[in-house]
Amino acid sequence: MLRNILNLAWKEAIQLFRDRVLVGFLIVMPLLQLILIAEATGAGVNHVKLAVWDQDQSALSQQLITALQNSQEFELLYRAKSYGEVHDLVDQGKATVAVIVPPDFSTQAMRPGGSAVLPVIVDGTNVIVASSIFGALQGAVSEMTLQNIAGLSPGRLPGGIELEVDTAFNPTLNLRWTMLPNQLAFITYQLVLVVAAVGLVRERELGTMEQLVVTPIRRSELVLGKALLAVAIGLVNFVILILALTQGFGIPLRGDPALLFGIGLLFIITEIGWGTLISIITTSQQQAILIVFLLAMLEVTFSGYLVPTENMPLFMRFFAQLSPLQHFTSVVKSVFLKGADLPMLMGHVIALALLAIGTTTVAWILFVRTTDW
């Protein structure tokens, strides 16, 4: 009995190792994902985009800004001139945190027994990043305060600085508001990719591709027919998931549903291109599904699902721009939580359009080369 089991297992191993494409994915992709996640998460939350509106223009306010700028956690990108400019920077995603220095900041901070209030606006669309920002801000302020009170007598000690944090878009830092829009994008990605990836390879595996060759149908009609089913399934499930998030889980949809639907359609077309490529290069449905699964794990790393893309190493940030899921995840969160409009999302829309054109073009070229029609 044991011998029969071992012989069968050996047969399965031989069949597996004959499939070089699948073996390569099984060995390389998990290792690559582990390395990339280690690179992305190893440095913590650093280089957070910082904006400052300094109304005080004092030596103490400049010392505070320098302390934040010199810290590893923050990268000073903008010096705002008004409250409206501060809000626009946060709304448009150009700044993740904005520090507003009041006009009487230095007077209140250095007054014995008093304290200065330092208003801070933090983008709460990513709860993990927002929580890390709170700690980093408090650490920088505390370190600066200790430097200023060194050598002073107890009677002359200043009151210090009190942070007044306003968490934008997610006031209660509800983790669901961050994770469920991400999950909406990821589920749509997986579903469309699976349907598209098995479309053509299923015909070859079942032996029906030859029947399609002799039917009065063009190659373009075959590809569009396969793609149309994936589009329909993707859009129906996309709408169902949006209703589940808004009606079932209470996630606010602050933006235009029609805009979200339109960009969702563009994302689905992009993923159909990727799925068709997989369907062309694979030889069985099992192989196609496994490759989709392995690619999905890799996409999660680049998409910002675990770590914000701006916090990744430079080479990962480059490859993240080639990830349709990264762009669509940003779109979904921005439309849901920020109420973003089309001009705010134009960079992601252009990237998705270029990726859609690129993937569908390559898929069509490969399909023409591999079919005798």
Asked if the structure places residue 14 within a domain, the reply is no
Asked if the structure places residue 7 within a domain, the reply is no
Of the residues 115, 133, 168, which one is the last residue of a structural domain?
Answer: 168
Q: Which residues of 66-79 are buried (b: 16+ CB within 10 A; e: fewer)?
A: ebbeebebbebebe
Asked if the structure places residue 6 within a domain, the reply is no
Q: Percentage of the chain with pLDDT > 70?
A: 83
Asked if the structure places residue 359 within a domain, the reply is yes
pLDDT at 39: 60
Run of H or E residues at 125? none
Give SS3 for 163.
strand
AA letter at 100: I
Which residue, 68, 117, 116, 118, is CA-closest to 95? 68
Asked if the structure places residue 308 within a domain, the reply is yes
Which residue, 238, 139, 159, 143, is CA-closest to 191? 238
Of the residues 149, 168, 187, which one is the last residue of a structural domain?
Answer: 168
pTM of the entire predicted model = 0.82
* Average pLDDT over every residue of 320-349: 93
Asked if the structure places residue 11 within a domain, the reply is no
pLDDT at 210: 66
Of the residues 168, 188, 203, which one is the last residue of a structural domain?
Answer: 168
The structure tokens listed for 204 are: 């070859």
Same-domain check for residues 122 and 180: no
CATH of the domain at 72: 3.40.1710.10
pLDDT at 128: 80
Same-domain check for residues 144 and 239: no
Same-domain check for residues 62 and 150: yes
Asked if the structure places residue 219 within a domain, the reply is yes
Same-domain check for residues 319 and 341: yes
Place of tokens 């209703």: 243
Asked if the structure places residue 26 within a domain, the reply is no
Same-domain check for residues 159 and 196: no
Of residues 258 and 4, more confidence is placed in: 258
* Average pLDDT over every residue of 211-224: 74
Same-domain check for residues 223 and 337: yes
Same-domain check for residues 194 and 320: yes
Report the C-alpha gap between 89 and 91 in whole angstroms: 6
Res. 36: pLDDT tops 70: no
Same-domain check for residues 109 and 71: yes
Same-domain check for residues 154 and 189: no
Same-domain check for residues 202 and 157: no
Same-domain check for residues 187 and 268: yes
pLDDT tens profile 248-262: 999 999 999 999 999
Query: DSSP string covering 326-366, please?
Result: HHHHHHHHIIIII---HHHHHHHHHHHHHHHHHHHHHHHHH
Place of tokens 């991400």: 182
> Could you give the number of structural domains in the chain?
2
Res. 73: pLDDT tops 70: yes
Same-domain check for residues 254 and 112: no
What residues have CB less than 8 Å from 298, skipping those under 6 apart?
A: 29, 32, 33, 36
* Average pLDDT over every residue of 8-22: 68
Instruction: For residue 345, give its domain range.
Output: 175-370
Q: What is the dihedral of CA 160, 163, 164, 166, to 10 degrees?
A: 170
- Report helix, strand and coil shares of the chain as percent, to nearest 5: 70, 10, 20
